[in-house]
């Protein structure tokens, strides 16, 4: 097949894709929640003939279908763009693209499938996606050699392969990446709903059958409450929580007592003598730390903090800048960039050779936060955690303003004249398997304290002479997890139940990879009737005993999650992992269910035979 140039190639691809162009655009509209489709008969859009590349119609700040023509190579694939996009000013380029990169990396099977089909990183690499920065283009695709003799030439087989890839594996990958973002949004919504309940009630219990990720969700919720966001890499999350000083996790068990959890007496040897000392345990110690913060944060003061001082000084500097702008029309930052206006909260800047009318907003808050962090150069400024994405992206201009602001200061902040007021922090304790202990015995008088926050109550033990007090402050939150299938655990009485909000955490097929989905569908049929064909129904299966509800015992998704095999982990294939899980995890608990009378034996055996599984 011959083509004259990239424009001709794009037209031929659009024509050959035919109805797929409409399919792609309508699917894009559905996935991204758009009001209309970008075009009904175009996959690629090519409007600038000076460019040697084209992207899908409408794909400015999204995951992009990409095609390029360079020298003797024709390339195509999926692109992640953090380069400047003229019409995109709501967020930084990194903020636009980060969700797509995160979704792609979290679905390990996508990269494996692409590599198996001959795709590779043409521009950038996996590290660029993991640590995405401004002004990059990462393209995962294929390159095909073409010949040129007046016009370009590609074999019919090569052209057909391009069409098959565009309408096949690339479309499948495109959909799954954006689906992953939407799943992440749903997860965020779930955590936000749980957060609202926790902040209102102060203590909640996440309840559900085994394997639904109750502890996993509890940690996400704790991180969201403490930091306002959730870390996707769970090793980093664990470190972040543990180092915060605002997080504790304890697991209850049947022999757990008040003396283990709240306050008790410890025997200590002093030479040849034994001394008995009353000590605060995990809850009392944690509550004391939270209470000290709460008290200091509520103290009134007329003395301003360093941050407030810096804001006042920056406002003074902004007046100097505005005066110069009023008199000279600009305030120079560099030979080519200048401040051109100010408002109550920001400077505005532009470049001599930038597009007409384009100006950027530099928030005062970013300059104040940077001043407090005191970066020594532009590189250290860029690495600050407490500045916005826009400040990181245009760090050179921001650092220039910071330097001019520092030089303008005639006085330095003095702690002898000013005091920093402590801000209130949120403290979160997770009690895993909360119902495995005898709760009235373990909590004791704290059953009252949980409801009447801030009131001092008397403990069984005197912590110091004449002092038995314990206070649960307003800024301490408790998240319990409870396995609803375990009938051997302790009963939660009504007095305790009234003090907690109970939230169901149920099986969710979204994180299950392909190898486990069919197993999940069939096993779910033991609890939910016709689950495989109607996943929205909650009609009880004939396999489940009459005195159980599906939501109490339905096996969770973690039983069906597999990991991508890599050279590093040396894991077997995901199908083999799933078969191992079936033999070592799923069948044993199903046999326990049958033995405990949760599942009916004959009905369960018959159902599993449909999947060639012998109980």
Which residue, among 469, 462, 583, 558, has the nearest Cα to 506 in the 3D structure? 558
Calculate ∠ Cα 81-84-85, nearest 5°: 85
**In contact, 484 and 208? CB cutoff 8 Å:** yes
- 365-374, pLDDT tens digit by residue? 899 999 999 9
By CB atoms closer than 10 A (0-12, 13-18, 19+), residue 289 is middle
Task: Give me the pLDDT at residue 84, please.
Answer: 84
Instruction: Tell me, letter by letter, the H, E, C secondary structure of 525-558.
Output: CCCECCCCCCCCCCCECCCECCCCCHHHHCCCHH
Q: Burial code of 423-438, b = ≥16 C-beta within 10 A, e = fewer?
A: eeebbbbbbbbbbbbb
User: Can you tell me the distance from the alpha carbon of 80 to that of 61, in angstroms, rounded to the nearest whole number?
Assistant: 9
Lookup: tokens for 278: 């009353």
Task: Give me the pLDDT at residue 479, please.
Answer: 97
Start-end of CATH 3.40.50.300 domains in the chain = 202-269+425-504
User: Can you tell me the distance from the alpha carbon of 19 to that of 317, in angstroms, rounded to the nearest whole number?
Assistant: 60
Q: How far is CA 197 from the centre of its chain?
A: 20
Task: Give me the pLDDT at residue 82, please.
Answer: 92
User: Can you tell me the distance from the alpha carbon of 398 to that of 300, in angstroms, rounded to the nearest whole number?
Assistant: 34
Region at 466 (left for phi over 0; alpha for psi -120 to 50; beta for the rest)? left
Ranking 380-394, 486-500, 533-547 by mean pLDDT, the lowest is 486-500
Lookup: tokens for 88: 């995109």
pTM of the predicted protein model: 0.64
How confident is the prediction for the chain on average, in pLDDT? 88
Q: Look at residue 304 and tell me whether its pLDDT is greater than 60.
A: no
202-269+425-504 maps to which CATH number? 3.40.50.300
**In contact, 346 and 334? CB cutoff 8 Å:** no
Lookup: tokens for 50: 């000076």
Q: Look at residue 117 and tell me whether its pLDDT is greater than 90.
A: yes
What is the tally of helices (H) and strands (E) in the chain? 24, 22
- 548-571, pLDDT tens digit by residue? 999 899 999 999 998 877 767 788
Instruction: From residue 195, give the alpha-carbon distance in Å to each of 205, 212, 216, 225, 344.
Output: 12, 18, 15, 7, 33
Helix (H, G, I), strand (E, B) or coil at 87: coil
Q: Look at residue 302 and tell me whether its pLDDT is greater than 50.
A: no
- 391-435, pLDDT tens digit by residue? 998 899 999 999 999 999 988 877 655 555 568 899 999 999 998
- 119-151, pLDDT tens digit by residue? 999 999 999 998 999 999 999 999 998 888 778
- 32-82, pLDDT tens digit by residue? 888 888 888 899 988 888 889 999 987 888 999 999 998 889 999 999 999
Q: Look at residue 190 and tell me whether its pLDDT is greater than 70.
A: yes
- 220-256, pLDDT tens digit by residue? 999 999 999 888 778 889 999 999 999 999 999 989 9
Site of tokens 């999947």: 611
**In contact, 38 and 21? CB cutoff 8 Å:** no
- Average pLDDT, stretch 204-213? 94
**Sheet harboring 64-70: ordered strands across?**
44-45, 53-56, 64-70, 73-81, 137-145, 120-123
- 339-365, pLDDT tens digit by residue? 998 887 789 898 888 876 677 889 898
- Average pLDDT, stretch 279-308? 79
- 439-485, pLDDT tens digit by residue? 888 988 888 888 889 888 888 888 766 678 899 999 999 999 999 88
pLDDT band, very low/low/confident/very high, at 533 (cuts 50, 70, 90): low
């Amino acid at each position: 097949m011959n083509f004259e140039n990239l424009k001709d190639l794009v037209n031929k691809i659009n024509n050959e894709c035919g109805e797929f162009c409409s399919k792609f655009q309508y699917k894009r509209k559905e996935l991204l929640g758009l009001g209309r489709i970008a075009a009904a008969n175009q996959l690629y859009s090519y409007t600038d003939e000076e460019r040697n590349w084209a992207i899908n119609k409408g794909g400015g700040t999204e995951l992009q279908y990409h095609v390029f023509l360079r020298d003797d190579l024709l390339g195509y694939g999926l692109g992640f763009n953090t380069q400047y996009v003229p019409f995109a000013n709501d967020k930084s380029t990194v903020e636009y693209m980060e969700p797509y990169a995160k979704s792609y990396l979290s679905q390990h099977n996508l990269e494996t499938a692409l590599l198996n089909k001959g795709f590779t990183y043409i521009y950038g690499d996996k590290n660029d996606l993991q640590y995405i920065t401004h002004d990059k283009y990462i393209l995962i695709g294929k390159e095909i050699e073409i010949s040129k003799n007046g016009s370009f030439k590609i074999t019919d087989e090569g052209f057909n392969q391009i069409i098959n890839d565009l309408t096949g594996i690339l479309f499948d990958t495109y959909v799954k990446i954006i689906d992953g973002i939407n799943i992440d949004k749903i997860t965020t919504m779930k955590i936000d709903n749980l957060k609202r309940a926790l902040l209102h009630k102060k203590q909640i219990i996440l309840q559900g059958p085994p394997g639904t990720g109750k502890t996993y969700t509890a940690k996400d919720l704790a991180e969201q409450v403490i930091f306002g966001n959730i870390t996707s890499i769970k090793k980093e999350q664990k470190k972040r929580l543990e180092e915060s000083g605002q997080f504790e996790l304890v697991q209850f068990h049947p022999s757990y007592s008040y003396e283990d959890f709240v306050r008790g007496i410890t025997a200590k040897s002093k030479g040849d003598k034994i001394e008995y000392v009353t000590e605060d345990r995990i809850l009392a110690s944690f509550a004391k730390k939270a209470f000290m913060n709460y008290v200091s944060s509520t103290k009134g003061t007329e003395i301003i903090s360093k941050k407030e001082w810096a804001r006042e000084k920056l406002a003074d500097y902004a007046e100097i800048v505005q005066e110069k702008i009023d008199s000279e029309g600009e305030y120079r930052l560099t030979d080519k960039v200048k401040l051109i206006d100010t408002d109550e909260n920001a400077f505005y800047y532009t470049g001599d050779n930038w597009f007409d009318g384009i100006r950027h907003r530099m928030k005062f808050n970013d300059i104040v936060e940077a001043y407090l962090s005191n970066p020594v150069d532009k590189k250290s400024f860029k690495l600050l955690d407490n500045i916005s994405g826009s400040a990181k992206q245009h760090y050179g201009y921001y650092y220039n303003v910071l330097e001019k602001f520092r030089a303008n200061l005639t006085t330095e902040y003095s702690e002898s004249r000013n005091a920093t007021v402590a801000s209130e922090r949120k403290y979160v304790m997770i009690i895993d398997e909360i119902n495995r202990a005898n709760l009235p015995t373990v909590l004791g008088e704290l059953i009252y304290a949980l409801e009447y926050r801030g009131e001092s109550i008397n403990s069984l033990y005197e912590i110091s002479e004449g002092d038995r007090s314990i206070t649960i402050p307003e800024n301490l939150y408790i998240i319990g997890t409870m396995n609803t299938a375990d009938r051997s655990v302790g009963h939660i009485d009504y007095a305790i139940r009234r003090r907690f909000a109970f939230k169901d955490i149920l099986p969710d097929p979204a994180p299950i990879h392909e190898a486990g989905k069919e197993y999940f569908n069939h096993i779910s049929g033991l609890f939910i009737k016709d689950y495989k064909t109607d996943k929205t129904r909650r009609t009880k299966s004939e396999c489940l005993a009459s005195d159980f509800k599906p939501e109490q015992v339905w096996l969770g998704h973690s039983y069906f999650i597999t990991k991508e095999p890599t050279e590093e982990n040396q894991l077997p294939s995901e199908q083999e992992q799933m078969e191992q899980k079936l033999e070592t995890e799923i069948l044993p608990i199903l046999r326990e269910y049958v033995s405990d009378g949760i599942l009916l034996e004959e009905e369960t055996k018959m159902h599993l035979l449909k999947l060639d599984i012998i109980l």
